[in-house]
Structure 1
Amino acid sequence: MGPSARGLIMLPMTCLLLFGLTLSLASPGAKSETSSLSLQRHKRHWVWNSFYVQEERDPPYHFMKLHSNKSNIYTIYKIDGDGAGKIFTVDPSGDVYAQEKLDREKKSSYRLKARLIDTRTNQQVDNEEEFDINVSDLNDNNPVFLQDFKGSVVERSPKGTLVMTVTATDYDDPTTPNGNLEYKLLNGTDLFTIDEGGNIRTRIDYLDREKQSMYKISVQAKDMPGMNSGNINSTTVTINVLDINDNMAVFKKSIYSFNVKEDAKQNSKIGIMELEDRDEEQNKDPSFTVLEFPQVFMVVKNPMKDGLLTLMQELDYEKKDTYNFVIEVKESGIREPADNRHENLIKRAEVMINVIDIDEPPLFTEPIYNFSIKEHSPIKTLVGKVSAKDPDRANFAIQYHIDDQNCPIAIDPTTGVMTVAKDLDRELVDQLEFTVTAVEANPKGLKSQALVKVFVLDINDNNPQLTAEGMIFACEADPPGTIIGRVKATDRDEHKEVFTIRLAKPSYNFTLTDNKDNTANITVRHGDFNQDDPLYHLVVEVVDSGYPTRSSTTTIDIPVCSCDSNRKNYYCKAAPTASNASFHALIAIILCILTILVIVILFILRKRWQKKAAVILGKNGEIHEQLVSYDEEGGGEMDTNGYDVSILNSARNDGAVLPPPPGVYAAVNKPPAVRRDMATMIEVKKDEADHERDGGPYDTLHIYGYEGPESLVGSFSSLESRSDDASLDYDILNDWGPRFKTLAELYGIEPSENQYTY
């Protein structure tokens, strides 16, 4: 129904109300009250009521009039409150107008205040009074579904089961038919129903998820229920059918075949036997029964609720290579009757297992072998035998070897017989553990291993030992019968420790008492000891209980001491000739002394040699034989001159000039004073180089400007020279040796032929 139709419906009621209000306001002196309009006269002479105005009406329009019995030609009306001056205006005579289109859904009522003002004094003539303006509703809003609706119902639910509730919203006045709604299904009415509250229920009790698991239903909402007119809207709701266990699980095939290797381990998975069950996975609950060989095979459910065939024990191809058996499937908790009860169901399936042969490694008769043998048994004594065989039908020969190359046990590679290869000593190793490897004599060479334990048995091959329990000594005042000490017998052999302890030689001063617990007491026989005889010797024999018996003899030294009455504080005088050092200790001491003497002698000889070398160096003044001078006048010149230092050394020996060997430099004739200065200078430089901590190694002497007054060559500088070249005497060049011969020939007189000897 459009807005014009709705206006026609509401128009008679509105006109009736406005007509009654106008009559009341037009007759201010009327004393009667119209009960239908609920008009009354207030004490302050205002005539009020709640006024109604229609929503969605086009402005401006007049809809009410204010009236007070105190109004006159000098008074005007004014209003204040909700929307005053903007939505609602009043003229001086009290006519109220609506200036905007009103919407009840936004605001359904307005509260205002009316005042009567005297224009002459601008004062209120009467007290202000409140009144309400109510917006009457029109059916101008359609029903609205504010969400998507999804519901669910379990399959095979009873008729009338609530599925979901659908609700729509109408913003019109809910107290009027404009805001009341009714619902209707546009499809699916054969399966579902809906009531006036929007509740959707099942119409049948045989919904089947396996046939259809979801339904899309269109729902219509309409206002003004019971009338042909009104606003409508629709939405689509989703209804999911939930699954239950109402189908039996059955095998997809009647025969299943699997291949299993014979080396498959226990609890290994063989294969999957797929089931057919139209129910969802969470509602599947099959169980399986193996009718034959239940100790060998088992079927369990996998995560997909199919049958998982599992191996319960290992297979042996050589014993049985095929298995045929039947497996049955059942399912509990099914909602009866099952939907698939009339179908051809496979509840039993035949299973065929083919065992696949593989080449297996050798198999030992025992995983661990235990043997025993006496220590010190002769070489090649039999220890035991290990045995392995090829479990396959080929039955290849087996070769044996011990992995540990240092093992004292040897094994025959063909028979597996083990014998003693090295001497066994129980006191060193009482148990041997090693691994024996068996290898098939075929190209693959498959291997397996076994652990062998050999226990070394004890024989009586160690002499008993005697030890003292604490210090044994005799006091000068010990009376006869005093126990002065105890000795204990031990043995490294493994047998019952029963020893006999006795004196090997009779003793005048002491007796030995066997306590029968592997200990013996030493007792004073005759007292009155004297420190003049500070040491006594007691020879004791110990005999064990082994077979054959073994014994040992021990000498116990008993010193004589000065003691107090309690034998706690004592002083023992050392024996003057006693020596406890063994032969090997003495040899070691002598070797140490000889080594120290040799080191001292070598040190003294080295010191003497150093002193002698220092004297020789002091005489010779040089430790190397050549001086190299570098012409450093130019930045890039590489001129060098080498001089034989031996000439300097020879020049210091009484002035005698020794000629150098052929091919070396000629000797230089220098005055003795110059020779002494040169030697002294070299020694000084050497001493400075030896004691200079911060300087580098002084391997080459660089001497510059050595041209003092005693120099043979004098000075080459021309700064102090006032003579010309003609006045110079160059004969001295002949004294400088063959290296200056050419220079002497140019500037001086040639030397005689026999002056130099080459």
Structure 2
Amino acid sequence: MAQGISSRHLGTRRAHNGDLTARETCKAGFSEEDYTALISENILEGEKLLKVSFSSCLGTKGTQYETNSVDFKVRADGTVFATRELRIPSEQVAFTVTAWDGQTAKRWDAVVRLLVAQPSSARPAHKKGKPSAGLDASQPPNDTLLPWPQHQNANGLRRQKRDWVIPPINVPENSRGPFPQQLVRIRSDKDNDIPIRYSITGVGADQPPMEVFSIDSMSGRMYVTRPMDREDRASYHLRAHAVDMNGNKVENPIDLYIYVIDMNDNRPEFVNQVYNGSVDEGSKPGTYVMTVTANDADDSTTANGMVRYRIVTQTPQSPSQNMFTINSETGDIVTVAAGLDREKVQQYTVIVQATDMEGNLNYGLSNTATAIISVTDVNDNPPEFTTSTYAGEVPENQVEVVVANLTVMDRDQPHSPNWNAFYRIISGDPSGHFSIRTDPVTNEGMVTVVKAVDYELNRAFMLTVMVSNQAPLASGIQMSFQSTAGVTISVVDINEAPYFPSNHKLIRLEEGVPTGTVLTTFSAVDPDRFMQQAVRYSKLSDPANWLHINATNGQITTAAVLDRESLYIKNNVYEATFLAADNGIPPASGTGTLQIYLIDINDNAPELLPKEAQICEKPSLNAINITAADADVDPNIGPYVFELPFAPAAVRKNWTITRLNGDYAQLSLRILYLEAGMYDVPIIVTDSGNPPLSNTSVIKVKVCPCDENGDCTTVGAVAAAGLGTSAIVAILICVVILLTMVLLFVVWMKRREKERHTKQLLIDPEDDVRDNILKYDEEGGGEEDQDYDLSQLQQPESMEHVLSKAPGVRRVDERPVGAEPQYPVRPVVPHPGDIGDFITEGLRAADNDPTAPPYDSLLVFDYEGSGSTAGSVSSLNSSSSEDQDYDYLNDWGPRFKKLADIDNCHPKLHPSPRCLWSGRIQRPKKPQPEPASIPENPAMSPPPLATGFPKDPVRGPAPENRTHP
């Protein structure tokens, strides 16, 4: 890219009217009458060229700018920019800028001149001011030095305004160095007077990316420090600063624009590697197909980014090897030859190449993509029947039956509107018995019966059908003569059911006709005219069984009397259904309904309503409204006549009837008072039929005393119920007797409960020996606490062993593993003052208690080892069973009688422990000594005598856990 493709103003020439001070009066207008800027030959759209300065003395608000050129505009801040991309062929361009104030409507004009920059060697020398340092031959070629113009004011005083400018800087991308590489030198003409230090700021200097550019602070030479990439960043905007050694500003900051020059280092890249397009078959040459697009990251304004397209290959090359062409600049692919036929070639594959450098294959970079072009189908092939005639048959009276399948052939794309067949019947079916539906899978036409056919009317049909497509044929394509075919359909005769021509036949007659009366003839017709068949009749539904039908001719007669008031009558109509069947194979039958409308006759006498009523015993209070109900209908119902019979005479004596209207009358008392009670009052009711019918009905009237409102009182209600005073008294006496019996029963139960409680108090609760452990009058014989650990009784006698045994829990229902403890042998014969007296007193108390039941239940004992240190207690006071006499056991009371029969033991004859536990024995009540203190360890106490017993020959070994029964 040539230097200067993007321009920035290189400088401006301003006219001065002398030094203005703050005390001078503000003058509205442009700061210059003529603005000049140096630009490059090529200008980009929106590029800033220069800035004009305008003051309205009222602020910039409301100031608007306009130009007389369509290529340049002025922003609100005075910046002049290009409205489009321009190339300036001449040396300068001039146009007018107008500023106008929206508040005062005044206008001011200024001229803007844009000078095209020339190469440095061609620049003319300045005529005014001191010679520019930029012309110093001692400066390097990249140094740029500009002179500063001088002006004179009206007083002849010279004021030199020093501004410094620098042209755009162009840097080629991908430079190989060496780095840092000098770009340009900036310098102020004040450096002859004072030392100046230079610096740059902006993106690429002190802003990321950092230190891309650097400057020598003393000489003003600016460098690039690394290779540039235009695709990463195309330009940089820096500001150069000049200050003295004390940091004071010497010159105003100036803008530096650095442009990266593009190199052809990027290949064109297609947006897609595969493009899909389509074109109709038979399209004319020049038909648009698709567009392929490739983008080049290089500068599109140069040849590096200008891409051109071409087609490399086409597959298949049929019917021509060049069926398509491509626009080299836009990438549009169009047809170039005729002959596209989907039925021959359905798809083309085209390889497209994109090359930059305006398509120069020698210098440019290239890339390829694939374009797949599908040839779309058009309806250029009409459907054709595979045969000219088709045949089928259909049974009569059937619908939704397919009678024939029509097959067609279509070379267009299957399952598309160009292929889908549409069938229609042209002739042969004026009544619309048939329709043709299309099978969506096979595209066949299915001739279907939609309206039943009758063999007796049409024995065959000759149809003419035509087939077409859903889509119309393409232009220039004619329908084939093979798109029409004939279909012959034969109708098969079947046995049809007879039918009643006058179905739901209605006849009218009076009710009550005698049995055997002929009502009508209900006959059916057999539609099978070509079959000689007989029809027979039968009843299908006759709810009341009133009718009879002749099986051969359908004549209907009555089998019972028809009653209009029957429950089978609905709205005066009786309905019966009959069946007519032929003798075909298989037989067929049809049904018919006969409706009989029955005309009412006066065959029902009226009934009196209500059946029951009540009235006060005084006739002045109220009366009873009566009416009648008749099962007949008008005119065989009301008006009714109500009257009282002459017999019995008491009826007319006590009662009277007053007629209200044709349907209602009033029954009231004729006498002044009638005793309360129930009365049957007969009343004769007569209707208005021809002839009239009468009926004597009885109404039950309850006569009762009433209050002032005419309502029956309670006493009256009871009396009216038929209960006299004596009956009421009898009922009350019965109630009192029942209550007395209940009270006596309750008192008896309370007394019995009290006696039972008194007897229980006579028995000392401590005398109940059904305990786990017996209590003896021995110190140290055991604890009264019966829940101690029995395992302590199974320990050895050695106290040292007991004291040294580790604490723990031991089961009491299993035998100890170690040696069984040996306890001192107790005396075999107990002290006579203890056990003997105890047993004697217990027996005496038991004998004197006739209500106490025997306690002979099976007892359970704790297991205390296989042996006992106490020896056998069964030999107390005896050495052998022969020395004892047990006959006196017969003198025991009823309480121990059962126990004596079972155990055969007596407490006076040196009882064994088993006998002691077999019955309820009362301990003697005498002062007991204070029990010995129980040691903390139960194992240290001597075991009680009655905690275990030897094996008994009757009950077996003593159980391990003895429980209370």
User: Do these two structures clear the TM 0.5 threshold for a shared fold by scoring above it?
Assistant: yes
Query: 1:550: how far off?
Result: 3.3
Q: 2:226 aligns with which of 95, 100, 107?
A: 100
- 1:66 partnered with 2:185: yes
**Counterpart mapping for 1:572-611 below 5 A:** none
The 1:433–1:729 alpha-carbon spacing in structure 2 relative to 1, beyond 3 Å, is: farther
Q: Distance in 2 between matches of 1:382 and 1:580?
A: 57
Q: Which residue identity does 1:256 align to in structure 2?
A: Y
Q: Distance in 1 between matches of 2:390 and 2:265?
A: 72
**Alignment correspondent of 1:131:** 256
The 1:334–1:246 alpha-carbon spacing in structure 2 relative to 1, beyond 3 Å, is: farther
Tell me how large the CA RMSD over aligned residues is. Answer: 6.7
Q: Distance in 1 between matches of 2:605 and 2:878?
A: 115
Q: Which residue identity does 2:435 align to in structure 1?
A: M
**Counterpart mapping for 1:257-656 below 5 A:** 257-262=391-396, 264=398, 266-278=399-411, 281-283=416-418, 286=422, 288-295=424-431, 296-300=433-437, 307-316=445-454, 322-329=460-467, 334=472, 337-339=475-477, 345-355=481-491, 365=500, 408=545, 426-430=565-569, 450=591, 457=598, 460-467=602-609, 487-494=626-633, 496-499=635-638, 500-501=640-641, 503=643, 505=645, 517-519=662-664, 529=672, 540-544=683-687, 550-554=693-697
**Alignment correspondent of 2:147:** 41
Q: Which residue identity does 2:135 align to in structure 1?
A: A
Q: Distance in 1 between matches of 2:203 and 2:516?
A: 125
Query: 1:314: how far off?
Result: 1.9
Q: SS of the residue aligned with 1:462? A: coil
**Alignment correspondent of 2:237:** 111
Q: 1:197 aligns with which of 330, 336, 339?
A: 330
Q: Distance in 2 between matches of 1:563 and 1:743?
A: 88
Note if contact 1:380-1:420 (Cα within 8 Å) is conserved in structure 2: yes
Query: 1:334: how far off?
Result: 3.6
Q: Which residue identity does 1:491 align to in structure 2?
A: D
- 1:145 partnered with 2:270: yes
Note if contact 1:183-1:220 (Cα within 8 Å) is conserved in structure 2: yes
Note if contact 2:132-2:147 (Cα within 8 Å) is conserved in structure 1: no
Query: 1:51: how far off?
Result: 1.8
Q: 2:306 aligns with which of 169, 180, 186?
A: 180
The 1:172–1:726 alpha-carbon spacing in structure 2 relative to 1, beyond 3 Å, is: closer
Query: 1:134: how far off?
Result: 1.7
**Alignment correspondent of 2:879:** 725
Q: SS of the residue aligned with 1:225? A: helix
Note if contact 1:486-1:520 (Cα within 8 Å) is conserved in structure 2: yes
Unaligned 5+ runs, structure 1:
1-15, 619-631, 636-672, 687-699, 705-716, 748-758
Query: 1:216: how far off?
Result: 3.8
The 1:141–1:464 alpha-carbon spacing in structure 2 relative to 1, beyond 3 Å, is: same
Q: 2:365 aligns with which of 226, 231, 240?
A: 231
Q: Distance in 1 between matches of 2:568 and 2:510?
A: 12
**Alignment correspondent of 2:43:** none
The 1:433–1:38 alpha-carbon spacing in structure 2 relative to 1, beyond 3 Å, is: farther
Cα deviation code 1:467-521 (max 9, x no counterpart): 369979799898xxx9977543321235633345253646689886878844457
Query: 1:173: how far off?
Result: 1.5
Q: What is the TM-score normalised by the length of structure 1? A: 0.59
**Alignment correspondent of 1:30:** 135
Cα deviation code 1:18-70 (max 9, x no counterpart): 8889x99x9826399xxxx9973366685632222222221225343414245
Note if contact 1:116-1:126 (Cα within 8 Å) is conserved in structure 2: yes
Note if contact 1:439-1:445 (Cα within 8 Å) is conserved in structure 2: no
Query: 1:743: how far off?
Result: 11
Note if contact 1:501-1:540 (Cα within 8 Å) is conserved in structure 2: no
Note if contact 1:54-1:102 (Cα within 8 Å) is conserved in structure 2: yes
Aligned residues: percent identity?
Answer: 27
Query: 1:171: how far off?
Result: 1.8
Query: 1:276: how far off?
Result: 3.9
Query: 1:701: how far off?
Result: 6.0
Note if contact 1:389-1:398 (Cα within 8 Å) is conserved in structure 2: no
Cα deviation code 1:157-193 (max 9, x no counterpart): 6665544443322222122232233444455755556
The 1:107–1:573 alpha-carbon spacing in structure 2 relative to 1, beyond 3 Å, is: closer
Note if contact 1:460-1:493 (Cα within 8 Å) is conserved in structure 2: yes
**Alignment correspondent of 1:657:** none
Note if contact 1:177-1:224 (Cα within 8 Å) is conserved in structure 2: yes
Q: Distance in 2 between matches of 1:528 and 1:116?
A: 147
**Alignment correspondent of 1:691:** none
Paired residues, what number? Answer: 618
Q: Distance in 1 between matches of 2:852 and 2:890?
A: 26
Unaligned 5+ runs, structure 2:
1-117, 138-142, 149-160, 315-320, 647-651, 757-771, 774-812, 814-840, 860-871, 892-899, 910-965
Q: Distance in 2 between matches of 1:212 and 1:302?
A: 28
Q: Distance in 2 between matches of 1:571 and 1:398?
A: 70
**Counterpart mapping for 1:646-725 below 5 A:** 681=849, 683-685=851-853, 702=857, 723-725=877-879
Note if contact 1:183-1:194 (Cα within 8 Å) is conserved in structure 2: yes
Note if contact 1:210-1:279 (Cα within 8 Å) is conserved in structure 2: yes
Q: Which residue identity does 1:109 align to in structure 2?
A: S
Note if contact 2:394-2:401 (Cα within 8 Å) is conserved in structure 1: no
Q: Which residue identity does 1:465 align to in structure 2?
A: E
Q: Which residue identity does 1:683 align to in structure 2?
A: T
Q: Distance in 2 between matches of 1:389 and 1:555?
A: 61
Q: Distance in 2 between matches of 1:81 and 1:488?
A: 120
Q: What is the TM-score normalised by the length of structure 2? A: 0.48
Cα deviation code 1:177-228 (max 9, x no counterpart): 3223344445575555636333444557886555555444444434343867
Query: 1:292: how far off?
Result: 1.0
Note if contact 1:192-1:204 (Cα within 8 Å) is conserved in structure 2: no
Q: Distance in 2 between matches of 1:254 and 1:677?
A: 132
Note if contact 1:463-1:550 (Cα within 8 Å) is conserved in structure 2: yes
Q: Which residue identity does 2:449 align to in structure 1?
A: L
The 1:194–1:272 alpha-carbon spacing in structure 2 relative to 1, beyond 3 Å, is: farther
Q: 1:166 aligns with which of 260, 284, 292?
A: 292
Note if contact 2:428-2:461 (Cα within 8 Å) is conserved in structure 1: no
